[in-house]
Amino acid sequence: MLDNCLNLAIDTAREAGKSILDFYKKEVHVDYKADGSPLTLADKAAHSSIVNCLALSGIPCVSEEGSDLLLDARRYWLIDPLDGTKDFLAGNGEFTVNIALIEGHHPVLGVVYAPALDELYAGSIERPACLMKAGVVTRCRPFEKAINLRVTVSRFHDHPDVSVFAESNHVGELIPVGSALKYGWLTFGRAEVFPRLVGSSEWDTAAGQAVLESAGGFVLDWHTGKPLSYGKPLRRNPRLLSFRAPYRFADFELKHYKPELL
């Protein structure tokens, strides 16, 4: 059953990617939401495509572009139809379609698809992470710890405390990358850790968390060290620390700031 859901999510992400690319690098009208984030026709087209495709499963959807947060639901799809709209508008290719299945407040499968790069990351609690690119499927393999930590950072959502983290952990390289691609890069050893120190929503993280966890990695609450759970008020996340295997929470030096949802 779960494998069927993952295959459906993969097909759905690819279809949504086609909808997004119809608008990519073309003149697009931009609206802005109440929080100041951009909204385009590509976001809306991807949302409609995903909701229609996932309706085949009979499982309800919670989408960034939807209206119902379904906070009491135990099993549902959690999607971001176009994660990284600023990257989409900048034309750098680093935007993704994020689709996760949540069961009991935890993502059990996830797909992160970057259509402009033709990179699709997928994984579940039953199927180890894989990367699909240019018709080739690559299974995730074990990685050793790095001599110098490489840290992925957001292109458009940086925070001064990232510099504090980098200094405290003797980071060798900061790698800017957009959207949930960061989780795919962690999973496949292109970086070691991603401190998310500004606000995010659950649809930003769920698919990437499922992929990273399927390869032994973690997405943890910065303050508690516990795995990120889902169904929180307004679906907002606290500060997060995500990292690949074989690292553990204790491997990182954290400066603990006032616990709060950002």
Same domain? 92 vs 154: no
Q: 3-state SS of the chain?
A: CHHHHHHHHHHHHHHHHHHHHCCCCCCCCEEECCCCCEEEHHHHHHHHHHHHHHHHHCCCEEECCCCCCCCCCCEEEEEEEEECHHHHHHCCCCCEEEEEEEECCEEEEEEEEECCCCEEEEEECCCCCEEEECCEEEECCCCCCCCCEEEEECCCCCCCHHHHHHHHCCEEEEEECCCCHHHHHHHCCCCCEEEECCCEEHHHHHHHHHHHHCCCCEEEECCCCCECCCCCHHHEECCEEEECCCCCHHHCCCCCCCCCCC
Q: What is the pLDDT of residue 256?
A: 56
Q: Return all residues near 66 (Cβ < 8 A) that are at least 6 apart.
A: 47, 51
Same domain? 16 vs 94: yes
Among 78, 106, 139, which residue terminates a domain? 139
Query: Virtual CA dihedral for 155, 158, 164, 167, nearest 10 degrees?
Result: 10
Q: What is the pLDDT of residue 35?
A: 76
Low-confidence ranges of the chain (pLDDT < 70): 256-262
Question: Whole-angstrom Cα distance, residue 100 to residue 122?
Answer: 10
Among 139, 174, 204, which residue terminates a domain? 139
- The answer to the question of residue 32 being in a domain is yes
Same domain? 129 vs 243: no
- The answer to the question of residue 260 being in a domain is no
Contact 151, 194 (CB under 8 A): yes
Tens of pLDDT along 74-133? 999 999 999 999 999 999 999 999 999 999 999 999 999 999 999 999 999 999 999 999
How many domains is the chain built from? 2
- The answer to the question of residue 157 being in a domain is yes
Q: What is the pLDDT of residue 33?
A: 82
Q: Which residues pair with 100 in a beta bridge?
A: 78, 110
- The answer to the question of residue 19 being in a domain is yes
Same domain? 64 vs 131: yes
Same domain? 107 vs 231: no
Residue owning tokens 């799809």:
77
- The answer to the question of residue 91 being in a domain is yes
Same domain? 26 vs 111: yes
Q: What is the pLDDT of residue 159?
A: 84
β-strand 119-124 against 149-153: which pairing, if any?
Answer: unpaired
Question: Whole-angstrom Cα distance, residue 182 to residue 193?
Answer: 9
Question: Whole-angstrom Cα distance, residue 6 to residue 134?
Answer: 19
Q: What is the pLDDT of residue 34?
A: 76
Same domain? 213 vs 245: yes
Question: Whole-angstrom Cα distance, residue 15 to residue 45?
Answer: 10
Q: What is the pLDDT of residue 104?
A: 94
- The answer to the question of residue 158 being in a domain is yes
Domain of residue 35 covers: 2-139
Among 104, 139, 174, which residue terminates a domain? 139
Torsion sign (Cα): 220, 223, 224, 229: negative
pTM for this entry: 0.94
Same domain? 37 vs 130: yes
Instruction: Give me the CATH number covering residue 236.
Output: 3.40.190.80
Question: Whole-angstrom Cα distance, residue 191 to residue 4?
Answer: 30
